[in-house]
Structure 1
């Protein structure tokens, strides 16, 4: 696993976009022309390739490595209206000690909570290295005025969030108002900067289940990266379908091509509906085959999940002992799309 690079400073997204698009003024028409010039996605080919990648066989040694890697990539998540400080502290305790019987078990990358509980998570996780990710910008709908979205983000950052998971305005995107989406992402990215100059990493949630087409997923991916996303993320976990392998494949192609075009790496986070070790391994195979092994690192790839960790722990224990543990081997987390 590679060492995480230093977090790049915030950029002037508008100036960079003008340079990349070759225009003197960033406008809706310029963004529309650029985004619609991207190659279209072959739906049949994309789904066939995803199905093929999903059939790859992973042997015992590689499987053990993949399970540990997948655990280290999880954003352990609770995003329910009934969340309490106690529940968040319990989730943090699980992140710190995923398997009390095996201290060698990797820790998840982050704990993901609502912004008003970010301070609770930060205190519980301390200096463990497990990050606090907070959802913001009127998650999950994104239906709020921009000052509210920015305040939501700033509050979470001030509370100690290491990462911000924002949602785009899907209505604006689907109506072709790309400039509004760009500006909102760019402004939220600036709101992630702390007074001393450090910043939280920004994950941009596209809610791919509402984007309808793979072409829209590709365009939203490129628009998000252009505006300053550190990660592009499939879903809130509140809309079905959430993370699918074909959609993630399109996003992996986008970050690969973005690096070819700009030299910059951007992460990918499928979230929602990934519950089993078998599912996680399929996604890891896709990462390696489509984007490349540089993305096989929790700094660049995450799973947004809650129940996935339990299945990975059970599979890990089976590989170690040759037998499945009982249902009480892992904690019973609250059910959700995550």
Structure 2
């Protein structure tokens, strides 16, 4: 097994495990992928009611959720000051008195995710923290810019200091069944990332069927994706439990066949602490404890952190506080 690359940030998967190198496109495997919607929806619907943790266990799960958050700002009016405030929150995601009471004074988030122009301010604000900067790329969120510009955008973001690149796939390749085209595209994006690890955003709300989600997940992993991610957060439908179940099972099958672990990132629409706990329980049941770490699991969120902080304060003090007491910056 490979141990580590030159990047030593512990939140990155290649530090702990051999990085997924990808494989030749196996069309037989891809076309055998199926998704039983009714069974998947029944399984997903049962999760919130069957899985509940309380007291110290709940606090522990919520603290783990904090460590797996990609704290994100992807707004047209982002400024260096806003990013600096977000990075300060990433360094200390929960008030110091609460962290001290929990015995977790060094808790941080998994990463900070920004547009390309905000990479430099984020890198500067996070220097020495061990928190990686993630950049959305390849014509995010639609992915419709010329291919050579999408590749160049990745290269520029890596050069600027991003250690993670969240790319968007061409949805039309999935919708038209152009699996070879999707594989070649993803392989080129992975190559452009170099040592930076790459999250493939499937934009599942725009792929039409759960079967397409399953097949796109496999193709992206075969092409070398380090993570597969549900959404940009800009679609009308973002992360859902049925979609997550399909993607997680594709990850499990890929690991069973190849021995390589690929990470998972649900993004968009996850804003409550109780939702985070449900996703963590799904990961634990389907993939096991190894995936419950920031090098293999992330939430794409920002408002989620505020609700988790309120729940942790309630655990420590016995009282709920107003949301303004837990501002992002």
- TM over 0.5: same fold? yes
1:9 offset after TM fit, Å? 5.8
User: Residues 10 and 189 of structure 1 are in contact (CA less than 8 Å); yes or no, is this contact kept in structure 2?
Assistant: no
Counterpart CA distance in 2 for 1:115 and 1:248 is 27
Aligned to 1:28: none
Aligned to 2:316: 320
User: Residues 154 and 193 of structure 2 are in contact (CA less than 8 Å); yes or no, is this contact kept in structure 1?
Assistant: yes
User: Residues 96 and 125 of structure 1 are in contact (CA less than 8 Å); yes or no, is this contact kept in structure 2?
Assistant: yes
1:100 offset after TM fit, Å? 3.5
Counterpart CA distance in 1 for 2:243 and 2:293 is 20
Alignment root-mean-square deviation, CA: 1.9
**Which deviates further from its counterpart, 216-225 or 171-180?**
171-180
Aligned to 2:219: 223
Aligned to 2:143: 142
In the superposition, the TM-score normalised over structure 2's length comes to 0.91
User: Residues 206 and 233 of structure 1 are in contact (CA less than 8 Å); yes or no, is this contact kept in structure 2?
Assistant: yes
Counterpart CA distance in 2 for 1:152 and 1:7 is 27
Partner-residue secondary structure (3-state), 2:32: coil
Counterpart CA distance in 1 for 2:208 and 2:58 is 34
Aligned to 2:59: 64
1:163 offset after TM fit, Å? 0.3
Aligned to 1:133: 134
Which whole-Å deviations, capped at 9, do the CAs of 1:14-65 have from their partners, x for residues lacking one?
xx315xx3xxxxxxxxx3x441112x21111101111112211212121111
Matching of residue 171 in structure 1 with residue 167 in structure 2: no
Matching of residue 17 in structure 1 with residue 24 in structure 2: yes
User: Residues 10 and 190 of structure 1 are in contact (CA less than 8 Å); yes or no, is this contact kept in structure 2?
Assistant: no
Counterpart CA distance in 2 for 1:162 and 1:327 is 32
Change (3 A) 1:108 1:6: same
Aligned to 1:295: 291
Structure 1 unaligned blocks of 5 or more:
22-30, 194-198, 334-338
Matching of residue 47 in structure 1 with residue 19 in structure 2: no
Counterpart CA distance in 2 for 1:34 and 1:249 is 18
Aligned to 1:98: 93
1:320 offset after TM fit, Å? 0.7
Structure 2 unaligned blocks of 5 or more:
1-9
User: Residues 266 and 300 of structure 1 are in contact (CA less than 8 Å); yes or no, is this contact kept in structure 2?
Assistant: yes
Counterpart CA distance in 1 for 2:328 and 2:38 is 38
Change (3 A) 1:180 1:3: closer
1:220 offset after TM fit, Å? 0.7
Partner-residue secondary structure (3-state), 1:36: helix
Matching of residue 283 in structure 1 with residue 284 in structure 2: no
**Higher RCO, 1 or 2 (CA under 8 Å, sep at least 6)?**
2
Counterpart CA distance in 1 for 2:325 and 2:248 is 34
